[in-house]
């Protein structure tokens, strides 16, 4: 914990919680491995009377893709680092992993790698189920290494896109599962603003500044009814937000530059600034922008891009047409949030439109906080993810590192255990179209 706090400045309480999350992820994947449905085992017995032609015996299951490269994230040194979800998912799928450590916490990454390798040997596995390397050049070489069969990445849009294009330009292209950046828009309907405007203002301010705004699901764009008290109340709350130390000097500089560039756009105002920044800290801010500016290509390029850190852009809308017009130009995001009232048609339509652009729709809540579970989806349309059909959180994250194989008319003695008639592992299977649970 001392090393983690010294390198990230995230604080012992936050880091302890994140470490507990990482341990839980490994336990959940272990339970999933034992349960067996992740194998996708399916058997179609041979049928001479099948239409339109006799059918051979077909047995399908998922197998590991091979070596997986994982690029650790800056903002979650445990949960998305060496002992993070990508690594846990790949190991659970049966794949060895090479981690490219994030330069924000190199010593912690090394320490965590030693712990994972020691744990592997204690269960009879080779320590080299996990290796670690450092440096930008090493990361580039890793993506094009012929033994690497898939890449997991969490980081900036520019860096992720460059590595994605590299992975796809290989003589043998490989899947690149990148989480690149997310705006995470929030819609507050007029009904919600009337019913609980104070609560929403407080909740959004807390969510946007959680962890000094360095969460991938931070609400970066908030659409509120013009004339509502939410904007003024959020400005009051932001002024009281203390400055905070960001993960690295480079991240803080990029944040400061990003806020300044947005504030310089015509029509954008700085509604509030938090407590003044110090030598190593960043000040929270709240910006406001007219809805019309989001239809200006030059301005929208900035306003609809993630600004990593403690800032949010507030956009008042005059009516439903203006609200829906903005929703229709939003980029892909990990989340979309709707604060709505009972039997609120505006909320229903906002949710429908956000569902076209996000992987998780949050109703009357806040996007920060991503539960690790079977049903979770942490991935959305580009640029939030390079592969929107997949998730980097939850049990189904394993699917990224598996591929299907079918055994046709295989001699029974050569079949893998999940596809044998006696099902020695007791895994759930679909047999001749009927689901059997073991």
Helix (H, G, I), strand (E, B) or coil at 158: helix
* Domains parsed from the chain with CATH numbers: 2-180+388-401 (3.40.605.10), 185-363 (3.40.309.10)
Q: 153: which 2 tokens?
A: 């990445």
Q: Please say whether the beta carbons of 302 and 265 come within 8 A.
A: yes
Please tell me the distance from the alpha carbon of residue 295 to that of residue 289, in angstroms, as a whole number.
Answer: 12
SS (H, E, C) 310-364: CEEEEEEECCHHHHHHHHCCCCCEEEEEEECCCCCHHHHHHHHHHHCCEEEEEEC
Q: Of the candidates 376, 342, 85, 83, which has an alpha carbon nearest to the alpha carbon of residue 194?
A: 342
Identify the pLDDT of residue 280.
76
Q: Please say whether the beta carbons of 203 and 364 come within 8 A.
A: no
User: Residue 81: which residues within 8 A CB-CB, separation 6 or more?
Assistant: 72, 73, 99, 101, 102, 105, 108, 109, 112
SS (H, E, C) the chain: CHHHHHHHCCCHHHHHHHHHHHHHHHHHHHHHHHHCHHHCCEEECCECCCCCCCECCEEEEEEECCEEEEECCCCCCCCCCCCCHHHHHHHHCCCCEEEECCCCCHHHHHHHHHHHHHHHHHCCCCHHHEEEECCHHHHHHHHHCCCEEEEEEECCHHHHHHHHHHHHHCCCCCCEEEECCCCCEEEECHHHHHHHHHHHHHHHHHHHHHHHHCCCCCCCEEEEECCCCHHHHHHHHHHCCCCEECCCHHHHHHHHHHHHHHHCCCCCEEEEECCCCCCCEECCEEEECCHHHHHCHHHHHHHCCCCCCCEEEEEEECCHHHHHHHHCCCCCEEEEEEECCCCCHHHHHHHHHHHCCEEEEEECCCCCCCCCCCCCCCCCCCCCECCCCCCCCCHHHHHHHEEEEEEECCCHHHCCHHHCCCCCCCCCEEECCEEECC
Q: Please say whether the beta carbons of 139 and 152 come within 8 A.
A: no
Identify the pLDDT of residue 76.
92
- pLDDT tens across 178-193, in order? 999 999 999 999 999 9
Please tell me the distance from the alpha carbon of residue 282 to that of residue 349, in angstroms, as a whole number.
Answer: 37
Share of the chain above pLDDT 70, in %: 100
Q: How many residues does the chain have?
A: 438
Please tell me the distance from the alpha carbon of residue 21 to that of residue 46, in angstroms, as a whole number.
Answer: 46
Phi, psi of 366 (to 5 degrees): -140, 140
Please tell me the distance from the alpha carbon of residue 297 to that of residue 324, in angstroms, as a whole number.
Answer: 17
Identify the pLDDT of residue 364.
98
Q: Please say whether the beta carbons of 291 and 257 come within 8 A.
A: no
What is the full per-residue pLDDT of the chain (438 aa) written as tens digits? 789 889 888 889 989 999 999 999 999 999 999 999 999 999 999 999 989 999 999 999 999 999 999 999 998 999 999 999 999 999 999 999 999 999 999 999 999 999 999 999 999 999 999 999 999 999 999 999 999 999 999 999 999 999 999 999 999 999 999 999 999 999 999 999 999 999 999 999 999 999 999 999 999 999 999 999 999 999 999 999 999 999 999 999 999 999 999 999 999 999 999 998 887 799 999 999 999 999 999 999 999 999 999 999 999 999 999 999 999 999 999 999 999 998 899 999 999 999 999 999 999 999 999 999 999 999 999 999 999 999 999 999 999 999 999 999 999 999 999 999 999 999 999 999 999 998
Phi, psi of 187 (to 5 degrees): -110, 130
Q: Please say whether the beta carbons of 163 and 151 come within 8 A.
A: yes
Q: 50: which 2 tokens?
A: 């099948």
**Annotated catalytic sites, by residue?**
179, 216
Identify the pLDDT of residue 72.
93
Identify the pLDDT of residue 5.
87
Phi, psi of 64 (to 5 degrees): -60, 145
Count H helices and E strands in the chain, helices first: 12, 19
Please tell me the distance from the alpha carbon of residue 88 to that of residue 102, in angstroms, as a whole number.
Answer: 17
Identify the pLDDT of residue 111.
96
Identify the pLDDT of residue 236.
97
Helix (H, G, I), strand (E, B) or coil at 98: strand
Identify the pLDDT of residue 277.
81
Please tell me the distance from the alpha carbon of residue 309 to that of residue 224, in angstroms, as a whole number.
Answer: 21
Q: Please say whether the beta carbons of 381 and 332 come within 8 A.
A: yes
- pLDDT tens across 66-79, in order? 999 999 999 899 99
Handedness of CA 234, 236, 242, 246 (dihedral sign): positive
């Amino acid at each position: 914990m001392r090393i983690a706090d010294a390198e990230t400045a995230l604080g012992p309480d936050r880091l302890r919680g994140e470490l507990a999350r990482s341990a839980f992820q490994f336990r959940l994947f272990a339970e999933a491995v034992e349960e067996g449905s992740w194998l996708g085992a399916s058997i179609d017995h041979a049928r001479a009377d099948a239409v339109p032609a006799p059918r051979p015996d077909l047995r399908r299951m998922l197998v590991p893709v091979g070596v997986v490269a994982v690029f650790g994230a800056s903002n979650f040194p445990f949960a998305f680092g060496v002992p993070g979800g990508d690594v846990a998912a790949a190991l659970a799928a049966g794949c060895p992993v090479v981690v490219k450590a994030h330069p924000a916490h190199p010593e912690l990454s090394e320490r965590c790698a030693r712990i994972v390798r020691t744990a592997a040997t204690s269960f009879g596995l080779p320590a080299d189920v996990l290796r670690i390397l450092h440096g930008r050049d090493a990361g580039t070489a890793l993506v094009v290494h012929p033994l690497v069969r898939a890449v997991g990445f969490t980081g900036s849009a520019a860096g992720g896109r460059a590595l994605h294009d590299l992975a796809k330009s290989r003589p043998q292209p490989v899947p690149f599962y990148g989480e690149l950046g997310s705006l995470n828009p929030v819609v507050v309907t007029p009904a919600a603003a009337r019913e609980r405007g104070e609560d929403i203002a407080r909740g959004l301010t807390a969510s946007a500044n959680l962890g000094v705004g360095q969460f991938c699901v931070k609400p970066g764009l908030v659409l509120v009814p013009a004339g509502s008290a939410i904007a003024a109340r959020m400005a009051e709350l932001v002024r009281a937000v203390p400055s905070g130390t960001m993960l690295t000097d480079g991240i803080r500089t990029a944040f400061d530059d990003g806020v300044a560039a947005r504030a310089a756009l015509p029509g954008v105002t700085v509604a509030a600034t938090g407590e003044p920044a110090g030598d190593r800290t960043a000040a929270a801010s709240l910006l406001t922008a007219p809805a019309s500016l989001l239809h200006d290509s030059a301005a929208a390029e900035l306003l609809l891009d993630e600004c990593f850190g403690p800032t949010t852009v507030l956009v008042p809308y005059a009516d439903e047409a203006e609200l829906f017009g903005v929703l229709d130009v939003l980029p892909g995001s990990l989340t979309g949030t709707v604060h709505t009232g009972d039997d609120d048609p505006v909320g229903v339509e906002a949710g429908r439109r956000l569902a076209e652009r996000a992987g998780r729709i949050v109703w009357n809540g806040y996007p920060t906080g991503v539960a690790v579970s079977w049903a979770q989806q942490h991935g959305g349309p580009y640029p939030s993810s390079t592969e929107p059909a997949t998730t980097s959180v939850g049990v189904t994250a394993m699917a990224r590192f598996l591929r299907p194989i079918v055994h046709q008319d295989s001699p029974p003695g050569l079949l893998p255990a999940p596809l044998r008639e006696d099902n020695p592992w007791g895994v759930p299977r679909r047999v001749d179209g009927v689901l059997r649970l073991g």
